[in-house]
Structure formats: structure tokens, C-alpha cells
Amino acid sequence: MADGFKFELVSPEKLLVSGDAEIVSVPGSEGDMGVMANHAPVMTSLRPGMVIAKMSDGEEQSFFVRGGFADITPTTLTVLAEFAVTEANMTDEMRAE
């Protein structure tokens, strides 16, 4: 995890991701945010959109989120979403809401 940071994505139903990431794009209320290691501490509410994570092992993971917030520190990113689903499990109805 030399250039990575701890990333967790949690919904009320389950923990969707917990691992080391290189960069994560988060749909903040003021616009998309790219989060990397050593990011300044920030807390933001989320707007509906995609969380896209490039994990330290090279894997890319994408999730649709709605509601909640992101807590960013220099060493961690925790996304607590009211609703979250993997991109593969998204439906057209979810996109329209």
C-alpha cells in the first residue's frame, strides 16, 4: 500500500468493498472528486452517481450510489451510502431515479 489508501464502501445492507485503492472517484454534492492517498481531510454528502475505484491490485470496481456521505482522510476513504449497487447489477429504473 505504498501509494494506496484504505477504501470502504458501505450500504445499510452490507459492506461492498474493503481494501487498498490507488484512486477513487466519488460523486460529491459539489461535483466529482478524485481521492488519492494523502488527500486533505474532507467530508461531503453524495449525489446520485458512480463510485469508481482503481484498487491497488489493478482491479477496477464501479458502483452506483444514492444518498449518504463520504469521509476522506489522508489514509482512508469511507463511503456510507443510503443505497449502493454494483454497476453490473444496475437497472434502467435505478438510473432514472
Q: Which domain holds residue 16?
A: 5-96
pTM metric for this prediction = 0.90
Asked if residue 84 lies in contact with residue 65, where contact means CB atoms within 8 angstroms, the answer is yes
DSSP string, 68-83: EEEEE-SSEEEEEEEE
Q: What CATH number did the domain enclosing 53 receive?
A: 2.60.15.10
**What's the pLDDT tens digit per position in 37-84?**
999 999 999 999 999 999 999 999 999 999 999 999 999 999 999 999
Helix (H, G, I), strand (E, B) or coil at 1: coil
Where is pLDDT greater, at 88 or 42?
42
The rounded distance, in Å, linking the Cα atoms of 61 and 93 is 21
Total of domains in the chain: 1
